[in-house]
Amino acid sequence: MNIENSSQLGPVEYLPEIWTVPKDSIYAAIHAVGKGLEYARQALREHDRDIGRATYKYRIWAEVIERDIEQMKKTLENLKSLS
């Protein structure tokens, strides 16, 4: 691909691929995402307890954490289905 002409490309299309990944890597990713999920849930609890959602900024901040939690839950499910 010529980088100079990259602005002429259309939207990138997602094409699923199958990769070979060591099982230990999957288990490590499951552990890491699980820990991240715990930390995100704790961060949301602390945010709601200490800061709340009274202002637009704080509400949006909490909603971002909630979306991250949902994404981590889905990722964890997908990773577990591979193990």
CB atoms within 10 A of CB 30: 17
- For 19-75, the pLDDT digits (tens) are 899 999 999 999 999 999 999 999 999 999 999 999 999 999 999 999 999 999 999
pTM (predicted TM-score): 0.76
For the record, the structure tokens of 42 come out as 């704790």
Nearest to 83 by CA among 19, 5, 28: 28
The two three-digit tokens of residue 21, written as one number? 């990944």
